[in-house]
Structure 1
Amino acid sequence: MSIAICIIAQRRKRKVLVVKYSYSHDLFRLHNIEHDKKDLLDFLDEAEMGGNDEDSMFRWLFDEIMPFEGDYSTADILCISDFGWMPISEEVMDKINAEKQKGMTFYGLNIVDSSTMGQYMGDHMEEMSEYLGSPANVCDSMWEYENGICKETKKIENKQSD
Structure 2
Amino acid sequence: MSRPPLPPFNAQTSAEKIRLAEDGWNGRNPQKVAQAYTEDCFWRNRAEFVQGREEIEQLLTRKWTRELDYRLIKELWAFTENRIAVRFAYEFHDDSGQWFRAYGNENWEFDDDGLMRRRLASINEHPISAEERKFHWPLGRRPDDHPGLSELGL
TM-score (norm 2): 0.27
Q: Which has the higher strand share?
A: 2
Tell me the TM-score normalized by structure 1. 0.26
Higher RCO structure, 1 or 2 (CA under 8 Å, sep 6+): 2
